[in-house]
């Protein structure tokens, strides 16, 4: 690195300890990928627990899975995939430096995310009404499967709850991105924050792509 390059004269968005925007973009992108690897292992612990108990108690898991509302689950899957599309469009707009479009697509992504969480809330509420929330008032229609069904519902609430928490964190990130776009920090030269936010959002989406079949589509729904 030449001494001139080290004394970069005010490149917008460039932190003092990086030599160039390119280096900064590479570092922040790698940082998000490493973080997502951590996230995979974080959810991985729960998927492990799920695998063990589904193998041990397939009947109870199928019976408990059938009480979930598959229509709402499917709608939510579609909503979330669409939000990934709007997110990708926001990244595309950012690459072109189209400030207005970035904001429109970010807001659309958040709106779709809110629809997802709203539907999730409706589902949680009906589980609450049906006494399917684990704990003292837990009740399952087939008593011989009740204990093991409770493990299923524990996993259901933990996994979808953790997923929802990640979406809420995603909203926080989106708000930051909206602010930066509004202020004009995001340009065609410096759009990596939007791209990195996008990586995160797609990851949260992919987690759901695994959760949906594992939780909703067990044991054949034909009957």
Partner 1 sequence: MATSTVLIPPRHYLNDGYGIKSWLLTRDHKRIALLYLASVTLFFFVGGAMAVLIRLDLATPAGDLVTDETYNKLFTMHGVMMVFFFLIPVIPSVLGNFLVPIMIGAKDLAFPKLNLFSWYIYVVGGLFTLYALVTGGVDTGWTFYTPFSTVSSTTNVVPTALGIFITGFSSILTGLNFIVTIHRMRAPGLTWFRMPLFLWSTYATSLINVLGTPVIAITVLLVAAERVFHFGFFDPRLGGDPVLFQHLFWFYSHPAVYIMVLPAMGVVSELVAAGCRKPVFGYSFVAFASLAIAVLGFLVWGHHMFVAGESVYSALIFSILSFLVAIPSAVKVFNWTATMYKGAVSWETPMLYAYGFIGLFTIGGLTGLFLAAVGLDVHVTDTYFIVAHFHYIMVGGTIMGYLGGLHYWWPKISGRLYNEGLAKLSAGIIFVGFNLTFFPQFVLGYLGMPRRYHAYPPDFQVLNVLSSAGASILGVGYLVPMVYLMWSLRYGRLAGSNPWGAVGLEWTTTSPPPTENFAETPIVTWDAYDYHAPVEGHVA
User: What are the residues binding partner 1 (CB under 8 A)?
Assistant: 1, 3, 6, 15-17, 19, 23, 26-28, 30-31, 34-35, 37-39, 41-46, 48-49, 52-53, 56-57, 134-136, 147-148, 150-151, 154, 158
In the bound complex, what is the minimum distance in angstroms from residue 8's beta carbon to partner 1? 12
Please answer whether residues 148 and 154 qualify as being in contact, where contact means their C-beta atoms are separated by less than 8 angstroms: no
- Tally the residues of the chain: 223
Q: How far is CA 100 from CA 96, 192, 193, 195, in A?
A: 11, 17, 16, 16
CB under 8 A, 24+ apart: contacts of 118-123: 119/72, 119/75, 119/76, 119/79, 120/76, 120/160, 120/164, 122/72, 123/68, 123/69, 123/72, 123/73
In the bound complex, what is the minimum distance in angstroms from residue 7's beta carbon to partner 1? 9
In the bound complex, what is the minimum distance in angstroms from residue 22's beta carbon to partner 1? 10
In the bound complex, what is the minimum distance in angstroms from residue 20's beta carbon to partner 1? 11
Q: Which is nearer to partner 1, 79 or 159 (CB)?
A: 159
Q: Which is nearer to partner 1, 82 or 138 (CB)?
A: 138
Q: Which is nearer to partner 1, 17 or 223 (CB)?
A: 17
In the bound complex, what is the minimum distance in angstroms from residue 5's beta carbon to partner 1? 9
Q: Which is nearer to partner 1, 12 or 31 (CB)?
A: 31
């Amino acid at each position: 690195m030449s001494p001139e390059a080290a004394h970069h004269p005010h490149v917008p968005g460039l932190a003092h300890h990086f030599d160039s925007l390119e280096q900064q973009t590479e570092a922040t992108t790698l940082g998000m990928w490493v973080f997502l690897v951590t996230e995979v292992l974080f959810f991985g612990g729960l998927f492990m627990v799920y695998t063990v108990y589904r193998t041990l108690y397939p009947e109870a898991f199928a019976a408990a899975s059938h009480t979930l509302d598959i229509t709402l689950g499917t709608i939510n899957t579609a909503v979330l995939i669409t939000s990934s599309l709007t997110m990708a469009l926001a990244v595309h707009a950012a690459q072109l430096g189209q400030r207005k479009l970035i904001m429109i697509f970010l807001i659309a992504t958040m709106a779709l995310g809110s629809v997802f969480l709203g539907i999730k809330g409706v589902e949680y509420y009906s589980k609450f009404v049906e006494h399917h929330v684990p704990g003292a008032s837990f009740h399952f229609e087939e008593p011989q499967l009740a204990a093991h069904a409770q493990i299923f519902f524990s996993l259901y609430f933990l996994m979808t709850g953790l997923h929802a928490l990640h979406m809420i964190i995603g909203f926080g990130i989106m708000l930051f991105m909206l602010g930066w776009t509004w202020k004009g920090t995001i340009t065609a030269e410096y759009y990596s924050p939007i791209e990195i936010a996008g990586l995160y959002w797609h990851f949260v989406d992919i987690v759901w792509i695994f959760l949906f079949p594992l939780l909703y589509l067990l044991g054949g729904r034909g009957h």
